[in-house]
Structure 1
Amino acid sequence: MTASSTRRTTAAHSRLAAVGAIAVAGALLLTGCGDQTKDKNNDSGSASTTSAPLADKLPSDIRSAGVIKVGSDIAYAPVEYKDDSGKVVGLDPDLAAALGKQLGVKFDFQNGTFDTLLTGLRSDRYDMAMSAMTDNKNRQEGVDPDTGKKVGEGVDFVDYLTAGVSIYTRKGDTQGIATWEDLCGKKLAVQRGTTSEDLAKQQAKKCPGGKKLAIEAFDDNQQAQTRLRSGGADAVSADFPVAAYAVKTSGGGKDFEIVGDQVEAAPYGIAVAKKDTQLRDALKAAMDAIIANGEYKTILEKWGAQDGAVKESVINGGK
C-alpha cells in the first residue's frame, strides 16, 4: 500500500463518520491467524455456472474448476478475519461471495502474510489477491518503494473501494499525537508491507535530529495492536476501517482512540497477474454488476464502509 506523500483529504476526513457504523460488527471477535495454509472453514459461496449471468466471461480453466483461489491476510478485521468459529468473514469475503453469484464460482480464501501475497500471485499459488490492498503505481509496475528498482512484473488491479490511513493510540494517552509530524520522537507499530509502513518510512526521513521516529513492523495488525496495548509502542497506523474497528472493539472500546485525520485516501483493488486479463475483466464486470444491483451497497453498509463506496469499478485507478 505504497503512497508518495502525506496529504489530508476532505473525503477521507468525512469517513470518520463510519466509526459508528462499524460498531454493528463489534460483536465479532478478532481471531486472525498468520499461517500460509488453506482455510477449510472459508465459504464464499456461489451460484452454479449454468445459472450465473457472467460465467462465460471467466477463463475456461477457472470456469471448469468452479473455484478462484484468493490470497489474503485473514487477520485484518473488519475487512477479512476469522470469527470465533474459525469461519472467514468480513467485507472482502462478503463481496467475493456476491461476485461468485455473478460468475458461478466459489472464492476460496487462503491465508498468507500480507507482504507475501503478490509473490504468491506471481508463482500461481493464487488466482488473485484480495486483502484491503491499495492499488498504486509501484504495485502495478512491480517496483520496490524503498529502492525504486523493478523487482517483478507488477499486477493489474480491479478497484472496488476507497480508504485512507489513520493513526490510533492508547485511549487517554495520545502523547500529543495528532499528525504524522507529531510521531517524530515516538515509536510507531505497523503491519509489514502496508501503506502505513511506507508512510512511516517517509516521515522518519523528515524528522529532525534528536527526534527519531522508531518504526516496528509486524506480520499482522493484531501484533501491532498488542504492542501498543502493552505500552511497547506509542501509536499504531492502519487503514481507517481497520483502525476504526479496533477502536470500537478492543477492550469493549476502552483500549484505543483515533487521533487526527485520515491521509492518503486511495483505492483498494483486487490484484490479478498481468497475464490474466480475461480474469481481470470478468472480475470488473461482476463488480460493476453488484454495484448496479445494490448488493455492493448493502455489504458496505453492513461493515460500516459505505463512505468509501465507488460508483463503478476501475482497472488500475491508483496513482
Structure 2
Amino acid sequence: MPTPVCRRRQPPRAPVDPQRLPDPSTGARTIGYSTHPPEEPTMTASSTRRTTAAYSRTAAVGAIAVAGALLLTGCGDQTKDDESSESQSANSAPLADKLPQAIRDKGVIKVGSDIAYAPVEFKDDSGKTAGIDPDLADAMGKQLGVKFEFQNATFDTLIGGLASKRYDIAMSAMTDTKDRQEGVDADTGKKVGSGVDFVDYFTAGVSLYTNKGDDQGIKTWDDLCGKTMAVQRNTFSHDLAKDQAKKCTEAGEQTLKIEDFSTNPEAETRMRSKGADVVSADFPIAAYSVRNSGAGKYFEIVGDQVEAGPYGIAVAKDNTQLRDALQAAVQAIIDSGDYKKIIDKWGVADGAVTEAKINGGS
C-alpha cells in the first residue's frame, strides 16, 4: 500500500512590490539601488497469534487500516504542531508581553515608510524592501515576537497615516523634532495635529551635494543664496532650506530658490538635468548616493554636515504601550550587539546611539 504523503500548509507568497525608482541619469523608472552595503564605511524555522487464514487476512486489513489512520492522524497533527510552534515562538520572544494585546494577536506591526531613501530604506533588485530600517526592524521583531510589515507611502503622508490608524508606526529616517512631537507646522507655528512620540534609534546630520565637478562654489549654507536647491518635501532638509532662503532675503542677497519633490531620487534627477544646482539630504543618504549613483561618477558632497539630530520611530500619542515596547526592543538589540552589526554592515557607525530615548529631539 503506498505510503500517504503529508503536505504542510504553505503560507501565501507575498506579492513583489513593483515600485521602481527613477534613474538619476535618465529619469527612467528602474529597479532601486543595490542591496549591497557600501564596500567601505561611508561614515566613519504484541498481538496474539491465530491460526486461521481468514483471521490473518482480517488482522492484516485491520493493521493496514490502523496504520493508515495513524498516518492520517499524523498529518493532521503536523499542521497543528506547525501552528503551535509559530505561536510558541511568538510567546517565547523576550519582550512579547510588552506589546498591546491587539498587536500580539495579529503578529504584525504595520510600518509606514517612504521606501526610496537608500541606504535607510529602499527597494533592492528583486523588489524587496531593504536597508538600515528594515534590518533593525527584523532584529526588533525577534525581541517582540512579531513581524514588521513595511508599507510604502510618500514621506509627507506618514504622520497623517498614523493619525488615521493606517499604520501602527512610521519608520523612515524621520528626524525627531519638537514640532513633530507637538503637531506644529514648522512654517506657520500653528497647531495642525496631535503630534507623535518618537523612539530614537540613530543620529544623522544634513549634507549638501552637487553634480560632480560642478560644485557651484558652494562650501557652506550661506553660499546658497542665488542658487536653486532640489529637496524632498517636508523633510528636515526642506525645513533648513526654507530657513536659509529667509536668511538670504533678510541679508539683501538673492534668494535661495527651492524646488521640492515627493522623493529624494526625484530631486537628484532634477539636479542631474541641470534644473537645480544642489540637493540637500541626511548625510547617510547623501553619502550613499555619492558613492553609488553612476558608480560614483554623478555627485559629490560639498561642505560639512550640519544640524545633527536623532532619527525616531514615530508612534501615535495615545499608543504609549506600543511606544514603550519599541523602546525596550531598540535597547535590547543595542545591548545584545545586533544593532552594532547592522549599523556596521551599512557603513554608518558614526550615527550609532547607545541609548534608546523617547522624544530626545529638540
TM more than 0.5: yes
Q: How does 1:73-222 map to 2 (within 5 A)?
A: 73-207=114-248, 208-209=251-252, 211-222=254-265
Cα distance change of structure 1 residues 200 and 240 upon mapping to structure 2, 3 Å threshold: same
Amino acid at match of 1:24: E
In 1, Cα distance between the equivalents of 2:40 and 2:265?
17
Offset from partner CA, 1:175-202 (integer Å, 9 cap, x none): 1101111010000000000011100100
Deviation at 1:49, TM superposition (A): 1.2
Aligned to 1:292: 335
Q: Structure 2 vs 1, CA of residues 25 and 109 (structure 1 numbering), >3 Å: closer, same or farther?
A: farther
How far 1:209 sits from its partner (Å)? 3.6
| 1:56 maps to 2:97 | yes
Q: Tell whether the 8 Å contact from 1:166 to 1:240 is kept in structure 2 after alignment.
A: yes
Q: Using the alignment, how far apart are the partners of 1:305 and 1:94 within structure 2?
A: 13
Which amino acid is 2:146 matched to? V
Shift of 1:87: 0.2
1:280 maps to 323
Distance 1:256 1:314 in 2: 34
Deviation at 1:149, TM superposition (A): 0.3
Q: Which amino acid aligns with 2:149?
A: D
Q: Which runs of 5+ in 2 are unaligned?
A: 1-35, 42-86
| Residue type of the alignment partner of 1:48 | S
The alpha-carbon deviation at position 230 of structure 1 amounts to 1.0
CA distance in 2, matches of 1:97, 1:182: 42
Once residues 37 and 217 of structure 2 are traced to their aligned partners in structure 1, the CA distance between those partners, rounded to angstroms, is 26
| 2:225–2:253 Cα contact (<8 Å) kept | no
Instruction: Write out per-residue CA displacement over residues 65-110 of structure 1, whole angstroms, 9 at most, x where no aligned residue.
Output: 0000000000000000000110000000000000000000000000
Q: Could you say which residue in structure 2 is the equivalent of 1:39? A: none
Deviations 1:101-139 (A, max 9, x none): 000000000000000000000000000000000001000
Contact 1:58-1:282 at 8 Å conserved across structures: yes
Aligned equivalent of 1:23: 38
For residues 212 and 288 of structure 1, what CA distance do their matches in structure 2 show? 44
The within-5 A match list for 1:198-277 is: 198-207=239-248, 208-209=251-252, 211-277=254-320
* Alpha-carbon distance change, 49 to 80 in structure 1, aligned in 2, over 3 angstroms: same
8 Å contact 1:142–1:153 — kept in the other structure? yes
Moved over 6 A (4+): none
- 1:308 is matched with 351
Q: Which has the higher contact order (CA 8 A, sep 6+)?
A: 1
Partners of 1:222 and 1:164 lie apart in 2 by 19
Alignment gaps of 5+ in structure 1: 1-20, 27-45
- Superposed CA RMSD: 1.6
Give the conservation status (yes or no) of the 8 Å contact 2:228–2:277: yes
- Paired with 1:131 and 1:300, the residues of 2 have a C-alpha distance of 15
